[in-house]
Each structure stands twice: as structure tokens, then as C-alpha cells.
Structure 1
Amino acid sequence: MPPAHPFDFGAIDDDEGDTLHEECGVFGVIGVTDAANFVALGLHALQHRGQEAGGIVTHAPDVGFQSVRRFGYVRDNFTDPETMAMLPGQLGIGHVRYSTAGSKGQTAIRDVQPFFGEFAMGGAAIAHNGNITNANALRRELIERGSIFQSSSDSECIIHLMARSLQKTIPDRMEDALRRVEGAFSIVAMTRTKLIGVRDPLGVRPLVLGRIGDGWALSSETCALDIIGAEFIREIEPGEMIVITDKGIESTYPFRPKRPRFCIFEHVYFSRPDSILGGRSVYETREAIGRELAKEAPVEADLVCPVPDSGTPAAIGFSLESGIPYAMGIIRNQYMGRTFIEPTEQIRNMGVRLKLNVNRALIRGKRVILVDDSVVRGTTSRKIKEMILDAGAREVHFRIASPPTAWPCFYGVDTPQREKLLAATMSEEEMRDHLQVDSLRFISLDGLYRAVGESRGRDASAPQYCDACFSGEYPVEPADMVEQGFRPKTAAE
């Protein structure tokens, strides 16, 4: 069975398929009492990066490696004393997963990370955030050489590559394996005595280091360090591997240096607003995006309303820059959870109304600016527009805090096929007509770069993000998808 991938979209509920999802978050600690409890708290803070399943692996000298992997929320699986008692030790790692849309209904518990492997020099567990773009080719090669895969995850390739390495230590085997891997990877791994963090040479996905008492923590985001009371020390650098033991931290750079290409959409949507990225508050960056959007796309209106919750900081920035009052015109049902992902047809047809409700008294008779983080397929945007008009709004104007999403992501984000992305087949004006709103404007790519504090350059010295979902310029060729028929952007485009 080939590994699941964001390019495989499948048939799912429109509202679920109209949002981009990060596929996972990773967390690990060493040198703390009851590591599993710290890992569970960290994963809880990273729940926004993956809601389908989670897993924790720990190690204690007297019992060895222990693992618990479950479907569902962290709070439902890793809070009861009986479960946590199964995970003793001062060293542990964890993972939260959001599977690709095409694999829904096919996921087995064996696909849930962290993955574990037993080697001649001892066991190792690994949790991976990102996506391996040459996983199909690696899998074929490994199977031909006798490897037996247990999951459909691209991440399992790393364990098999480590098993075939001739290096003498697990960190060295991991280096050896990752040199064969293309794409994006931020990894938290563990042996019996070591906590390991690795980031790919492009640094596409985030990974940070924290200090808690005499121990250490690795996390996808700084917000997870906050919840356990850890001090944020620094980001793991692109291409860096750190190995943490009771003797301290060893840092190496085992990969050929490349120009970093951090995912710019982490600033727009994926990361929590209370996290720090590149030394900047995500919240402040999103507010700056809203200010830039107001400069680029002004419009006369009575209210600026966010599409909650991801559009809130940008809406505040738009309001501050434009002088148009900010208002909570749409209220989110905070207790929705995922109860209605697979409901009856009648409930499913209610769609967005299960999650969002319009503040009618505020909206009636007003010209409303709705600020959202992105437009993917447009189905949710149309339903929200209809709700606003049903509540009596005079006009509806959409302002989007990212450029048009016209290309799929192959580096760890759940994205529809390109032909299902609205911006891939329509101009901005055609999208406005399709959504049937009074106006629709996206922030420009240059404007987005200005908002994140950089200029969009092409010379070797200029900072550059991965913006492939907007520009179609992929920093690593998606080899597996090209093999399956995907056509990357050409120079003419």
C-alpha cells in the first residue's frame, strides 16, 4: 500500500476539505520526573497540529521502552492515571497526527506515531513532522531489499533506512538515513539514554529547544514549552541535529548546507498565535498581515469581523489600520469538537452552522468585512457569506490574510489536488463572482513578506520562505507526485 499523501484528496465533507491542516506535532523531554505527563501536556498544547490520533513512548531502565498510541484527542487518551502509569521514565517523546484527507477511514493504529525500531545497539523511537517527497521510491527500494513495512506512513522509511545503515550508533544511523530523505522533516527521537532533535536543511517545519529544571524539552512550537513551564532557549537550526543526554547537548550539522526555506504559512495559520517563530510573536505577525492587507485592499464598511479563530489577529490589524470598528460578528461553538465529522446526512448538511453562528443584532444593516486566513475550495466561504446575508448584512466583503492558494503542499500539509483549489482555476474576480460577495481581495505575496518582516528576494543573500502553495516554486521537487502525474510550475507560468 503506497504511503498516504496530501495530493490524494478523496471524498470527504466539504467543510473539512475546505481548510488546510498541519499533519502533526512532535514533543519530547529528558531529565524530568514522569516524562509521560510532560509529553501529554506538550501534545495537548500542540493539538491544533493534529487531532486524529496521538502516541507517547517512554523509557525507564527497569522496564525498557513503553508505548501507548490511541485515536482521538490527547485529553481523552492521556489523562487517566491507569494509562499514564503504563508510561514510566524520565525520557519520552510524543506525536499528534492529522492524517491526509485521502487516507481517512483507512488509518490503522499502526500508522500512529511515534514509530519504534529495535537495533543491535538498542531500541529507538521516532516522531516526524513533515513529509518525505521521495518516500515511494525509498519504499520500493527497501521492499525489494527485504524490508517489511507495518504502516502506510512515509515516516516509517526512516526506521528502515536506519536498520540498514552500517553506522555504529543510533544518532549516526539516523544521520545516514536522513541523507537519503528528500522533503521536509522536523524529528524528535529517543534512545534509552538520549533525546534527539533534527531539522531538515531547508528548515521547512519548526522545532524548538526548551529548558525545564535540570531537564530539556523539544517541541514543534514554543506554546507547548509554556504549558510545562519550560524556558524557551532557541530554535533548532535548519540542518542541525542535537543529541541530549544527562551530560549535556551535542550539536552537529550533518547535512549539506542549503538556503533555509521555512514555511511561510506557519506564520499565517498553522502555528498557535501565542508561539514564537523566528524571534517574532505569531500574533504580532498576523496583526501585521492584517495591517498590510488594509493598506493593499481598502474598502468602505461599517465592521471588520474575523472568521474565527484563525482570522482574528489579522482582523484586528485590519481594523487598527483602517479605523473601521472591529466586532465579533461570528461566534464559534467552542464545544463542537469532532463529534459531527461523520454524522447523519441531515446534520452534515447543516455544515458550518454547527461550528459558527452569526451575531445577528450586530450584523443587521451593516457593511461587513470578513477577514479569513485563506480560501481553499471556497465552500466554507460561500456558506459563511450566506449566513451573514441571512442575518441582514447590507454588503459582504472578503479580505484574505494570505495570497491565493493555487498549488498543493507536499511538505507536510493536507492540501487538495490542484484542480480542486479555487485559485488554481479562477482569477480573483472570477472567485469573487463564484463566492457572490461584493468584493474579494487577497494580500499580495510581496505584502505577506513585508508583514513577516522580510523582503521577497531571489538573490542568494535575501531571506526566503517556502511559499510554494502560493507561487508554485517548490524548493524540493515532489518526486513521488511527479511520478504520479503532478505537473510542477514551468518557467512560462
Structure 2
Amino acid sequence: MKEECGVFGVYSREFNVSELTYYGLIALQHRGQESTGIAVTDGAWMDVSRGMGLVREVFRHQIPQMENQYIAIGHVRYSTTGSSLLANTQPLMVSYSGGKIALAHNGNLTNAGEIRRKLEESGTIFQTTIDSEVFVNLIARSRKVTVEEKIIDSLKKIKGAYCLTIMTEDKLIGARDPQGFRPLCIGRLEDGGYVLSSESCGLDVVGAEFVRDVEPGEMVVIDENGLESHRFAKAKPSMCIFEFIYFARPDSIIDGQSVHESRFEMGRILAKEAKCKGDIVISVPDSGNVAASGYAYEAGLPYVSGLIKNRYIGRTFIQPSQKQRDTAVKLKLNPVKSVVKGKSVIVIDDSIVRGTTSGKIVKMLRDAGAKEVHMVISSPPIGFPCFYGIDTSARKELIAATKTVEEIREYIGADSLHFLSLDGLKSCVPELNPKNMCFACFNGGYPIQQKTQSPAEADKYIFETRKKKTNC
């Protein structure tokens, strides 16, 4: 799948904003593990420090510091457009006629290819191969007067998924696309300062009180006068259901819905739908943990640790290549033989994308002596690619796009395979209206229909392959 990025921002006259951003990014590390960066300003100067790797690795020697700094933004990246390279790390920082600006982006712009071509034809030079740079250039070229007007002018030209934290010399700005695909929330510090974070768990770690979520189609501007809201587009909510299935941390609350409660309910509904007979329930840690506890609770079966996770290995889902994912599975998980030997094991996982990881897990458990292995998945089959910031790649790579449930079962080698129904999934987010959520990866009902949703335009390396062809 193509997601994951996390954005964070702090405005404070009393707290160390770069240090708070550092801690916030660690809390959001699950949203991206390829690269990270922090940009800071003191009102006159602006600087950015970026690097490849985890937050604690990149800033292992020193957190970016600036005397009298009072605004900072940060980013953790999983590449959804452009290669995993230092040049493509964020935040992006540029100078233009209006001053300096830094930007961090979570999501995917579905019309980035079209806009970039037009900008290049007019002489614009790009230094990265990521869609986020399109937005920076639109701001710089806008003929509007104030920076707020320039940003809104640019927001009205882009389509797709985006949550943005933007920093000028004196303002912290956050924006969320009209569909609200990705989450973004606001927190308040003790000194009256503000925090922007992809998830509420980022607020918790820095001691910020949750204020509210940024609304779809809303831009918030934070400066010395406090927080001001600007509505730049009519809200057409289509919150990504996968935030609740997999992406977000269980301790986060998104748009009023507890992620933990959602996943626990997914497990309970699964137990009712699958009615799978077994001796024990285990999870594929960590993303399957909460759903597994819900399944065991409803089924009246013991929930035990049958797979042990190496805590020092990143999430296999967000490894950038298939070879790396395969290696990571072997390094990441190991069965507990004394737990699974001779048992009929019910394994709870959040999803099956390509099927390779599930097949390896089934084989691991059989090799460890499991009598039967029943795979139970807390989401419906993923049969369609995502264009809004999730790395589902081409549809042909999605196992559910080419195989039936029975064929998938045979492919992964399980004794039985059960997926959560779409109606069951919808019932697991009671605080949200299913009509305001995106289930496109399950049913192909894309909230934004446009020509740029072709395989070529959705290609992660669109800005690189096009240049290669031009140079031939």
C-alpha cells in the first residue's frame, strides 16, 4: 500500500518547539520510517534539518536548535510519490518573493502530474520528484497578496489527499483536503501555544490538550493573535477507513472515533461472522492485537502470544520494496512453538494485500507444529488501488483483484480464511457516518473521479520515469 506520512507543528513562545516536534515525530513514527525532518524559525531566519532513517537515528546527535525559535514543523515519510531519497525528504523549504516557507505533506495529489507539466512548460524548475513540491511552487507563483490568500489560492487548484503543516517566518498553518482523507488535529499547550498533529497521540506525548480536529476543507492559521479558521472549500467528507484498520495508533482518536474501540469491535464482529472453531486466538503483532482481543472476547477463547515480534524491525507493510518486505517478515516475527504446537490456531491480521506475508506466517506456524491455521482478517478483501496516499501499487499486485477468497486461502496455505464483511466494518465506527468515509480499496467507489486516476498518473515514480523517457 501507498501511505503513510506524519506531520507535526508547534507554535509556542515559551516551550522548546524543536524539542516538542522531535517528540511528536517519535509518537508518529508508525506513519513513516524512511526519512524525517524538522524545520524551525525565530521570526527572521528559517532552517531545516533532514535525513534518511528513523527520527532517533537522524537526530541522534542533536535536535535542530535556533535561538529564540518559536515555530517548528516536522515530517516522517513513507514515500508515496518519488523514490526514497534524501532529496525527497521533508519538510520542503523554499525562498520566494514573499519570504521563506516550509511545508510538510501527508497524502497524495491526484492531479500533481498535470499541474507539474504546466509549471515546467512555463519554466518552473523542480528539485525533487515528489508531488508536494507542486504545492510549494503554486504558492510562490500565486498573485494573491497575503500568504493566507496565496495558500488558499493554491489549495483550490490541487486535488486528492493532503494534510499540510506550513511554516512562514511568523505563522504556523494547517490545512486538510475537502474530503478529509487523512487526519489532522489541533492541541493547546499550557502557555497558550498550539500544536498540529496527524494524530492525537502526538498531542499526548508533548502534553498538549486536544482542542479539535481540523475540518475537511479548512485551513487554520496560528500566529501571535491566536488561531484563526478559514474555510477554503465545501467539506465532502471521505475519511479513509484504513486509518482505523491499520494506520493510526490504537490510542489515537480521529474525528471523534476511538481507534482502539473500532479495532476491538472489528474483532467481535469477525467472531460472529466467521464462527471459526479453534483452540487459541493469536494476532499478527502489532496491528492485529486489538482486533484479536476483541475476537477472543466474543468467541470465549484464550488470546495468547503465538507470534513474537522483534521490536527493532520496522513495519513490513511500509518497506519500500518487495524484497525488503520478505526479509523483514523473517526478521520481524517468530512463532512460539510451545504455544502453537498441536493447536488449532486462529490468526488475526488486519489485511491481506499481496498475500506473501500471510503465506509466510502460515508456513511459520505449521513448521512450529500448529495442527490447523485459520486466517481471519479484520477488513474486507482489498481489490482496488488507492490514489489518496496508500501504497497499494498496481491493481494486478493486489491478490484479491485476481483471486477469489478460496483461491487466496489456497495460495497462503491456510485451513480456512475469513474476511470481515463491508457492512460489518461500517458498523465498527459508530461515531462516524459511513457515507462520509472512503471504502474505495474494497469496492472501487472513489470519492474523486478524474482522468488522472490512470495507472500512469498513479505511478509512484511518475516524475522519474517521465524524465527517463524524455532523456532517451
TM-score past 0.5 threshold: yes
Alignment partner of 1:145 is 2:122: yes
Q: Would the alpha carbon gap of residues 366 and 338 (structure 1) be closer, same or farther in structure 2, given more than 3 Å must change?
A: closer
Query: What does the per-residue CA deviation read over 1:420-449, in whole Å, with 9 as the maximum and x for residues that have no partner?
Result: 100000111111111121110100111000
User: Is 1:30 aligned to 2:8, yes or no?
Assistant: no
Q: 1:311-351 CA deviation, whole Å, 9 max, x = no partner?
A: 00000000001111111110001123599x799x9x99765
Establish whether residue 56 from structure 1 lines up as the match of residue 55 from structure 2.
no
C-alpha distance in 2 between matches for 1:79 and 1:319: 41
Letter in 2 for 1:29: V
Instruction: Give the residue type in structure 1 aligned to 2:203.
Output: L
Q: Quick one: which amino acid aligns to residue 25 of structure 1?
A: G
Q: Does 1:294 align with 2:274?
A: no
Map 1:62-461 → 2, pairs under 5 A: 64-81=45-62, 83-85=63-65, 89-100=69-80, 103=82, 106-213=83-190, 214-255=192-233, 257-337=234-314, 352-453=329-430
SS at match of 2:163: strand
Deviations 1:448-483 (A, max 9, x none): 0001117976xxxxx331111111111112533427
Work out whether residues 124 and 170 of structure 1, in 8 Å CA contact, stay in contact via their aligned partners in 2: no
Paired with 2:15 and 2:456, the residues of 1 have a C-alpha distance of 48
Aligned match of 1:15: none
Relative to structure 1, is the Cα distance of residues 202 and 110 closer, same or farther in structure 2, using a 3 angstrom cutoff?
same
Quote the offset at 1:85 in angstroms: 3.2
CA RMSD, aligned part only?
A: 2.3
Could you tell me how far apart the structure 1 residues matched to 2:353 and 2:320 are? 21
Whole-Å separation in 1 of the counterparts to 2:285 and 2:264: 14
For 1:482 and 1:247, how far apart are their aligned partners in 2?
A: 44
Deviation at 1:167, TM superposition (A): 0.6
Measure the CA separation in 2 of the matches of 1:406 and 1:120: 46
Q: Is the 8 A contact 2:172 2:223 kept in 1?
A: yes
CA distance in 1, matches of 2:409, 2:254: 33
CA contact (8 A) 1:446 1:456 kept: no
Determine the C-alpha separation between the residues in 1 that align with 2:409 and 2:35. 37
Secondary structure of the residue that 2:40 maps to in structure 1? Answer: strand
Name the SS for the 1:473 alignment partner: coil
Residue-by-residue CA offset, 1:39-75 (whole Å, 9 max, x unaligned): 111111111111010111110135x001101111101
For the 8 Å contact 1:328–1:359, the answer to whether it is kept is: yes
Distance 1:174 1:46 in 2: 25
Identity of aligned residues (%): 47
Runs of 4+ residues deviating >4 angstroms:
347-351, 454-457
Cα 1:438–1:87, aligned 2, differ >3 Å: closer, same or farther?
farther
**SS state of the match for residue 336, structure 1?**
coil
Among candidates 18, 25, 37, match of residue 43 of structure 1: 25
Deviation at 1:259, TM superposition (A): 2.5
Secondary structure of the residue aligned to 1:84 is: coil
* Letter matched to residue 208 of structure 2: A
TM-score (structure 1 length as normaliser): 0.88
- Partner of residue 452 from structure 2, selected from 470, 473, 480: 480
State the alpha-carbon separation in 1 of the partners of residues 170 and 2 from structure 2. Answer: 34
Give the count of matched residue pairs.
454
Change (3 A) 1:483 1:422: closer
Amino acid in structure 1 at the alignment position of 2:194: W
Report SS of the residue matched to 2:124. coil
AA of the residue aligned to 1:469: C
Shift of 1:35: 1.0
